[in-house]
A = this chain, B = another copy of it.
Amino acid sequence: MNIENLMRKNIRSLRPYEAKEIKCRVKLDANESPYSFPELLEKALSVKTNRYPDPEGLALKKAASRQWKIPPENLLLGNGSDELIYYLILTFGGPVIFPEPTFSMYGIISKAIGVKAVGIKLDKNFDLDTEKFLSAIKKHKPKLIFLSNPNNPTGNCFSTDRIFEIIRATKALVVVDEAYQPFSSKNGFIPLLHEMENLVIMRTLSKIGFAALRVGFLISSADIIKAVNRVRLPFNLNSLSQTVAIEVFKNYRRIMKTVKEICKERDRLYKALEQLPGVMPHPTEANFILFRVGNASRVHRALLKKGVLIRNMTPLIKDALRVTIGNPEENNLFLKALEAVIK
């Protein structure tokens, strides 16, 4: 039996996203928070294992609604933002446009669904090249544009003016993926929602200490939320994650303190990297730093030998590695290992 022949054509050349578990002492590869909040799990013990989750996730929507000051009807819950990307592309189709380099799932999911995906190169500062974007919009007439802001894996925010220009120039939905917004000095786009009818925002709990839960949020006009809800699986968010996510919002201020700690460490790490010969960190507003270094792949391997796992961005970005901000001790271990490796 030839499975390849049975597959849809777009799947035949699709390879699964590589997310293997690699053993290491210091794990700084996945943009996770170094701080776990096990005490917030206790409420999950009250879940009735035999009952289906609340299909609407109303209590969680209300909690998020209070935090972000937007009505619950402007919210849709996802099993991580990944699932929301799936739902957006299933609902609106393609072409899908995004900058390059950016979060790889926009392209992978476009391919899985079988819609055209167009990557537009960022300029030399990793900012949006509006000229190229506007001409791609004219040429491809996209249905969706994804902008990760701050951008992963480059770390910087795009110029707000340029994002505005793109939102105004297109009839497509512009999805601003704010996974890393809590680490940024900028406000984020939620307050602008009522002014821009083609604006869609994504948020997640994954980067602020709750990657284990898989909880993402789609934030947009009630009409867009209703449209995407048509393709949503009725029980897409399990009861345990819903319950713990409500606790996250109850403890939001405390969690945001750890986010501030991470930002402080990021700034310290950035300065330390700047001091290392041949190491060039890129300005960042996220919980990671992209840096260039000669022989990046060799450095990456050598770090892993010392028990420090970071992300190798080559060949996507030449000579580049990405390190997630850990706790002070982890960051020091990373710095020490890097120093030894590049000597």
A317, CB-defined interface residue at 8 Å: no
Inter-subunit contact A19/B51 (CB<8 Å) = no
Contacting residues, chain B, for A233 (C-beta < 8 A): 17, 79-80, 82-83, 86, 105
Instruction: Select A238's contact among B27, B33, B171, B240, beta carbons within 8 Å.
Output: B240
Report how far A99 CA is from B213 CA in the complex, Å.
36
Report how far A230 CA is from B45 CA in the complex, Å.
34
Q: Which of A231-279 contact B (CB under 8 A)?
A: 231-241, 244
A316, CB-defined interface residue at 8 Å: no
Report how far A80 CA is from B238 CA in the complex, Å.
9
How many residues from A make CB contacts under 8 Å with B? 82
A1, CB-defined interface residue at 8 Å: yes
Of the stretches A4-12, A119-127, A160-168, A184-192, the one at the interface is: A4-12
Contacting residues, chain B, for A240 (C-beta < 8 A): 41, 44, 212-213, 238, 240-241, 244
Inter-subunit contact B47/A214 (CB<8 Å) = no
Closest 3 CB pairs of A and B: A19-B55, A212-B239, A19-B234
Report how far A223 CA is from B171 CA in the complex, Å.
42
Where the two chains meet, the residues of A that have a C-beta atom closer than 8 Å to any C-beta of B are 1, 3-4, 6-8, 11, 14-17, 19-21, 27, 30, 32-38, 40-42, 44-56, 58, 79-80, 82-83, 86, 90-93, 105, 112-113, 143, 171, 173, 197-198, 206, 209-214, 223-224, 226-227, 229-241, 244
Inter-subunit contact B51/A47 (CB<8 Å) = no
Report how far A4 CA is from B92 CA in the complex, Å.
9
Contacting residues, chain B, for A82 (C-beta < 8 A): 233-236
Inter-subunit contact B6/A234 (CB<8 Å) = no
Instruction: Select A235's contact among B1, B36, B80, B236, beta carbons within 8 Å.
Output: B80
Inter-subunit contact A41/B52 (CB<8 Å) = no
Report how far A172 CA is from B37 CA in the complex, Å.
47
Inter-subunit contact A214/B235 (CB<8 Å) = yes
Inter-subunit contact A212/B86 (CB<8 Å) = no
In angstroms, how far is the closest chain B Cβ from the Cβ of A230? Answer: 5
Most interface-central of A49, A55, A206, A244 (chain B CB within 10 A): A49
Contacting residues, chain B, for A241 (C-beta < 8 A): 238, 240-241
